[in-house]
Structure 1
Amino acid sequence: MNALQGIAAALTPMGLIWTAVLLSVATFLHELAHYALARAQGVPVRSFSVGMGPVMLRRSWQGTEWRLSLLPIGGYVEIEGMAPEEGPDGQLRAPTRGFAALPAVGKIAVLLAGPLMNLLLALGLMTTLFASQGMPALDRARIESVNSGSRAEALGLRAGDVITAIDGRKLPETVQTDGAPLAGWESLRSTLEVAGQHVFTVLRRGTEGTETLQVRFDWRPTVDGRRQLLGIRYGPDVQPVSVPTAFAASVSNTAQAVPQVLRAFGNLFGRFLTLDISRDENVSGPIGTAEIVSRAAALSPWALLQVAIMLNLSLAFFNLIPIPGLDGGRILLVLLGALKGRPLTFSQEQAINFAGFAFVMLLMLFVVVRDVSRFF
Structure 2
Amino acid sequence: MNPFQGFAAALTPAGLLWTVLILGAATFLHELAHYALARWQGVGVKSFSVGMGPILLRREWRGTQWRISLLPLGGYVEIDGMAPQPDADGVPRAPTTGFARLPAAGKVAVLLAGPLMNLLLGLGLMTGLFMGQGLPVPDRVHIEAVVAGSRAEALGLKPGDVITAIDGQDLPDRATVNGQEIAGWETVREVLKTPGPHEFTLDRAGQPQRVTFDWQPTVNGERQLLGIQYGPDSRRAGFAEAVSTSLSSTVQVVPQVLAAFGNLFKRFFTLDLSRDQNVSGPIGTAEIVSQAAAASPWALVQVAIMLNLSLAFFNLLPIPGLDGGRILLVLLGAVKGRPLTHEQENAINFMGFAFVMLLMLFVVVRDVVTRL
Aligned in 2, Cα 1:306/1:194: closer, same or farther, shift over 3 Å? closer
Aligned in 2, Cα 1:90/1:3: closer, same or farther, shift over 3 Å? same
Mapped pair 1:77 → 2:77 = yes
> Which residue does 1:325 correspond to in 2?
321
Q: Residue 62 of structure 1: CA displacement?
A: 1.1
- Structure 2 Cα separation of the partners of residues 361 and 223 of structure 1: 47
Aligned in 2, Cα 1:286/1:88: closer, same or farther, shift over 3 Å? same
Deviates more, 1:245-254 or 1:37-46: 245-254
- SS of 2:48 mapped into structure 1: strand
- SS of 2:164 mapped into structure 1: strand
Aligned in 2, Cα 1:166/1:340: closer, same or farther, shift over 3 Å? same
> Deviation string for 1:133-165 (max 9, x for gaps)?
223211112234567898767876544332223
Aligned in 2, Cα 1:69/1:146: closer, same or farther, shift over 3 Å? closer
Mapped pair 1:276 → 2:280 = no
> Which residue does 2:32 correspond to in 1?
32
- Structure 2 Cα separation of the partners of residues 324 and 47 of structure 1: 22
Letter in 2 for 1:25: A
Identity of matched residues, %: 68
Which structure has the greater CA radius of gyration?
Answer: 1
Mapped pair 1:180 → 2:176 = no
- Structure 1 Cα separation of the partners of residues 8 and 146 of structure 2: 37
- Structure 2 Cα separation of the partners of residues 294 and 223 of structure 1: 32
Matches within 5 A, 1:196-211: 200-205=200-205, 210-211=206-207
> Which residue does 2:43 correspond to in 1?
43
- Structure 2 Cα separation of the partners of residues 146 and 50 of structure 1: 44
> Deviation string for 1:299-340 (max 9, x for gaps)?
222222222111111111111111100000000101111111
- Structure 1 Cα separation of the partners of residues 149 and 12 of structure 2: 39
- Structure 2 Cα separation of the partners of residues 173 and 279 of structure 1: 31
Matches within 5 A, 1:137-148: 137-145=137-145
- Structure 1 Cα separation of the partners of residues 369 and 211 of structure 2: 52
User: Could you state the TM-score of these two structures normalised by the residue count of structure 2?
Assistant: 0.90
- SS of 1:90 mapped into structure 2: coil
> Which residue does 1:88 correspond to in 2?
88
Q: Residue 29 of structure 1: CA displacement?
A: 0.3
Aligned in 2, Cα 1:184/1:5: closer, same or farther, shift over 3 Å? closer
- Structure 2 Cα separation of the partners of residues 223 and 290 of structure 1: 34
Letter in 2 for 1:296: A
- Structure 2 Cα separation of the partners of residues 231 and 67 of structure 1: 51
Mapped pair 1:19 → 2:19 = yes
> Which residue does 1:255 correspond to in 2?
251
- Structure 2 Cα separation of the partners of residues 135 and 20 of structure 1: 29
- Structure 2 Cα separation of the partners of residues 174 and 222 of structure 1: 24
Q: Residue 77 of structure 1: CA displacement?
A: 0.5
> Which residue does 1:62 correspond to in 2?
62
Q: Residue 229 of structure 1: CA displacement?
A: 7.2
Letter in 1 for 2:341: T
Preserved CA contact (<8 Å) 1:115 1:315: yes
Letter in 2 for 1:96: T
Mapped pair 1:289 → 2:285 = yes
- SS of 1:276 mapped into structure 2: coil
- Structure 2 Cα separation of the partners of residues 136 and 144 of structure 1: 14
Q: Residue 11 of structure 1: CA displacement?
A: 2.4
> Which residue does 1:246 correspond to in 2?
242
- 1:267 equivalent among 251, 263, 277: 263
Q: Residue 47 of structure 1: CA displacement?
A: 0.8
- Structure 1 Cα separation of the partners of residues 327 and 287 of structure 2: 33
Unaligned runs of 5+ in 2: none
- Structure 2 Cα separation of the partners of residues 312 and 30 of structure 1: 9
Q: Residue 194 of structure 1: CA displacement?
A: 6.2
- SS of 2:9 mapped into structure 1: helix
Deviates more, 1:107-116 or 1:58-67: 58-67
Deviates more, 1:288-297 or 1:94-103: 288-297
- SS of 1:172 mapped into structure 2: coil
Q: Residue 22 of structure 1: CA displacement?
A: 1.4
- Structure 1 Cα separation of the partners of residues 358 and 220 of structure 2: 54
> Which residue does 2:359 correspond to in 1?
363
Q: Residue 8 of structure 1: CA displacement?
A: 3.5
- Structure 2 Cα separation of the partners of residues 232 and 244 of structure 1: 34
> Deviation string for 1:234-261 (max 9, x for gaps)?
4321222222222222222211111111
- Structure 2 Cα separation of the partners of residues 110 and 315 of structure 1: 17
Letter in 1 for 2:251: A
User: Could you state the TM-score of these two structures normalised by the residue count of structure 1?
Assistant: 0.89
- Structure 2 Cα separation of the partners of residues 23 and 190 of structure 1: 36
Mapped pair 1:372 → 2:359 = no
> Deviation string for 1:276-304 (max 9, x for gaps)?
11111211111221222222222222222
> Which residue does 1:118 correspond to in 2?
118
Preserved CA contact (<8 Å) 2:194 2:217: no
Between the two proteins, the alignment pairs up a number of residues equal to 371
> Which residue does 1:341 correspond to in 2?
337
Letter in 2 for 1:255: V
Matches within 5 A, 1:213-232: 213=209, 215=210, 217=212
Letter in 2 for 1:163: I
